[in-house]
Structure 1
């Protein structure tokens, strides 16, 4: 079976993990700060806060933004549930902005209209979580222009997009137009630390809050102590109700090693995406927009006049591990119980009904890609 995605490891990546396993600290050593600094250098962000998953990164980003019970957070339906769940963890309400059918990212006109109506109703969001679907950055400049007058905090969910750029050429993660940007280092992402994530920001106050929420809300900085015990070297103080979202040194050193390959990984993904475009020229499907700035996390086609379930099953039978990204968040039972239903976000629903994710990862060979395309062509044509 050719999987829809998988990680790529080199011997030196494995060696780096083995080295840390033989060192004194497996956690809370020097590797996590080094990883944070390296990601900041690559992205251009001033501060990076590593955590044990992209989901925990989204959670602490909401907490750092002050999201609490009674607040409202918007995101898009076309994403993994973590993009909305992070707000629910804070007790906030969630709503969605429909997607653009071409980019499959947040629709700018839908956002503008929804903001106008929200202002009239006196119920604006505190935070908008902007998802960069499949590796292509949303139009962050336009989103920022619409939201700045309302004081809305923008959080980029860049789990798919690390290694890519926005439509102005800014590296994803630089936080040029947002307050925070969340990365994921899950095995199928641009680089992997096995599990892990990071929140990037250029705001020192937000960074300090992120560090607190990641580590139990505890600080060892004497300047933050509210007692006279600043001279006791063992002393620490809890300032917030935080979480144990720390990343281990084992995970961090793997991420560090993988970061050295990121440009090569993105280049391979981009070449394969371009090759899919050429090979699928005569196949009756809708191809994704050929975004030159994309990190190409996913290559998702949309079927035309064909039953997706049948095509999915037949491709799997033929050794092609296709997948579907994503079931719209608002259609999951949990969110239906909150009042959402079919028909509320038609672009996202229409896209989902037709979407099929083809295999794409750096080590995918041309022979394997040819097999994917030939089997799809046989089934459809």
Structure 2
């Protein structure tokens, strides 16, 4: 692929007092990455030059004022603000939170307008981003509002994909949030994503129970028997290979997860604890179910190591490659459905 034809990869810079900006620049310090995409960092050239200087990185930055000015083969920085930003690594700062949201909003606008192809988001601090104009618990909820579709947090790595019925919901409210309608919607989203984003023709999906031991026949809760199990049976009767509910405590330790293309957990920690235990540093948070492609690393701002030059770049790099891979898969899937005869004539 010629550099001029590269995927335009937008990057929202996240919390500047965290490790995000360091990781982004360290990844693109390797010029070989520019063979895969044309990066456009939504921040400011002044801010990114400070980060570059702090970490003594050998990287050339190209300041631009709109996406059309991005140059293939260069690390482009789209100026979202003009003022100097005071970065204090490792500290929570509401002003820095406002800049992370400004970056996210500008990058999302570009994604909606198709001036970038893929969005990769650096970690934000969910506390310091809150304001009168931004009241979302994280990226996923904001993108669900801004983009078409129904978002689903889908954690993916080599050999493991974990989706969630409920994501940023307090544990005490999980059971009341899980309804037959929600289960059907989330299973449908995972199923469609596996087909169009990961090229799995007949996906096999496992669903984890809501209560310990899936309720033990009502002894530890009735929701698995009254809500989850009958809904899964209905979905399976429609032709989808959906199985469960499985007791979550032994599902991963027994390696049963290896028998499925994706696992759907009932709530956040039920899915993310085993995912991050098995895949930390290599995992990617993909927002499935939307009409655009967004990925992020599987870690947070990591204030405790920010500014020290020791952050691991692997998860963010995987997020970049996963975003590119999904974009290409989805494009091929859409072309196939528009013109199935052209693809059926391919030699096998």
What's the TM-score, normalizing by structure 1? Answer: 0.23
What's the TM-score, normalizing by structure 2? Answer: 0.25
| Structure with the larger strand share | 2
